[in-house]
Chain A
Amino acid sequence: MSNWIEACAADDIDEEDVIRFDHDGRTFAIYRSPDDEYFATDGVCTHEQVHLADGLVMDEIIECPKHNGRFDYRTGEAKGAPVCVNLRTYPVKVEAGKVLIAIG
């Protein structure tokens, strides 16, 4: 059973950008890709306690603002040192201008 949560309005996020979404004590990062697709991952870097939403989105990559750990935000894949643990990702859908994420 997916638990769909409304995270933000679709146009709250610029293209090729990210915002932070806090829910129930957890932090997520919601992305809008250059191709206008939406993705969601855990909001904190797997290397250190740093919010990814303060980082930079370039194409399909989110770069951590602190130590430049890079992840593919579509899959959560860690792209090399200093990060070696993948980010958890969450299903996303856009309905009626709202971004919904399924948090397990």
Chain B
Amino acid sequence: MDTGMVIIGAGESGVRAAFALREHGYAGPVTLIGAERHLPYERPPLSKEAMAADDPQAKTIADHQRLVEHGINLISETTATAVDRHARAVRLGDGSSLAYERLLLATGAAPRRLPFDHGPRMAYLRTFDDALAIRRHLRPGRPIAIIGGGFVGLELAAAARRLGAEVTLIEAQSRILKRGVPEEIAAVIDARHRAEGVKLIIEDGIADMSENSACVVIQLTSGRRLEADLAIIGIGAVAVTGLAQAAGLAIDNGIAVDEYLATSDPHIFAAGDCCSFPLALYGGRRVRLEAWRNAQEQGTLAAKNMLGMGEDKDGGEPHRFVPWFWSDQYDLGLQIVGLCDEGSHVVRRDMDNGAFILFHLAHDGRLVAASGIGAGMTVARDIQLAEMLIAKGVRPDAEKLVSLATKLKTLLAA
């Protein structure tokens, strides 16, 4: 019997990989190492209105029983401190050591930090415990500052408004969601937040932040000064690469993996938010995705290749997924499939009740992305179809994309 499979990181990607190893028939030891005290849980709800519940609960991915049934040994509240590639062993925080046949790094990402002293009134969101700490400050009529108009900040703004907090959101760029979201869609979200009573401050930076026992004081570069019960900082995330870097693995905006998700060491793989990988769909462009579905897909694929691929990559299955992302704010549902910046022009399909989808087409007419927004799940079905059109490399007739008389499904057959 081999020494087993070790997975560092018990988030979406690591847990999915652990189960996928069993689904592919692997019978050796599977060990999952997680830093947190909780059972593995889903992170997307942490920033959403689920957090507005009186007593928010973590949405568990796998409970004890399922882990036991699948023979997955979860070591919680434990950090891996080093990877010894020569001995093929992981050293743990308690001083013990764990040998591996193949290792998966699913270490995720960590919030990008502001260079100010961090006290209890300056919060970052990554874990369920972070979310609970934030939740305690969200109270009717109380001022909350959110720094960063990305998805985490905007979703938290919606959750905080639901609880009646007075929300001010500060964005340094010229608009919210500058990275990866088309302006027309960001404008819908911007307008909705304002209508819901969020004060949006655009194109202003943070000059200084300090806190005392009563509040956090935020000095903006424009000279404005804000006080709040809590400042939530959501200015992006960075890949957690320390272990990989110390082990001498290649790093390139994340742990660099190839299309099989293998790192520069063929016995070590990486998946999820922590890795950058070549996206076959866009000519091998290297990207790093911070997305729930990507974490799932890569965890599954890494497990398959950890088992079925030789050191010369024979038998490996390459990555060929289309990136997909969603966000919920108030009753608005946004979905994006593909990478919008791959498009050179856009056509718009207007749907009922103000919902719309933008189709992003490349110079050669290929559909490379679709981004949509509307109430609830309005855009979901057409985004799913767009994903299939993108994967197939279809060059759809722009007029058909625009016209509601054309069912997108019919374009698949073409």
Within the complex, which residue of B296, B376, B384 is in contact with A81, where a contact is CB–CB below 8 Å?
B296
Q: Within the complex, what minimum Cβ distance (angstroms) separates A101 from chain B?
A: 22
Residues of B within 8 A of A50 (CB): 377
**Interface residue? A97 (CB, 8 A):** no
A54 touches B293 (CB 8 A): no
Total of A-B residue pairs, C-beta within 8 Å? 36
**Interface residue? A98 (CB, 8 A):** no
Residues of B within 8 A of A56 (CB): 380-381, 384-385
Task: Known A67-B293, A68-B293; judge A54-B381 contact (CB<8 A).
Answer: yes
**Interface residue? B151 (CB, 8 A):** no
**Bound: A51/B296 CA distance, A:** 22
Closest to A18 in B: B381
**Bound: A16/B412 CA distance, A:** 14
**Interface residue? A91 (CB, 8 A):** no
A65 touches B19 (CB 8 A): no
Residues of A within 8 A of B384 (CB): 55-56, 63, 65, 68
The A interface is mostly helix, strand or loop, or mixed, namely: loop
Chain B interface residue number, banded? 10 to 19
By the criterion of a CB under 8 Å from any partner CB, how many residues of chain A are at the interface? 14
Q: Mark A41-81, 1 if CB is under 8 A from B, else 0.
A: 00000000011001110000001011110000000000011
- Which residues of B from 371 to 391 have beta carbons under 8 Å from A? 376-378, 380-381, 384-385
**Bound: A50/B296 CA distance, A:** 19
**Bound: A80/B324 CA distance, A:** 18
Closest to A14 in B: B407
Closest to A63 in B: B384
Within the complex, which residue of A51, A63, A66, A81 is in contact with B300, where a contact is CB–CB below 8 Å?
A81
B293 touches A81 (CB 8 A): no
- Which residues of B from 130 to 158 have beta carbons under 8 Å from A? none
**Bound: A65/B387 CA distance, A:** 12
B381 touches A65 (CB 8 A): yes
Residues of A within 8 A of B23 (CB): 80
Task: Known A66-B326, A67-B293; judge A81-B16 contact (CB<8 A).
Answer: yes
**Bound: A16/B385 CA distance, A:** 13
Q: Within the complex, what minimum Cβ distance (angstroms) separates A103 from chain B?
A: 24
Q: Mark B267-302, 1 if CB is under 8 A from A, else 0.
A: 000000000000000000000000011001000100
Q: A residues touching B (Cβ–Cβ < 8 Å)?
A: 16, 50-51, 54-56, 63, 65-68, 80-82
User: With A66-B377, A67-B293 given, can you name 13 additional A-B contacts, CB distance below 8 Å?
Assistant: A54-B380, A55-B377, A55-B380, A56-B384, A63-B384, A65-B380, A65-B381, A65-B384, A66-B326, A66-B380, A68-B293, A81-B19, A81-B296
**What are the nearest 10 A-B pairs in CB distance?**
A65-B380, A54-B377, A65-B377, A56-B384, A56-B381, A54-B380, A81-B16, A81-B296, A63-B384, A65-B381
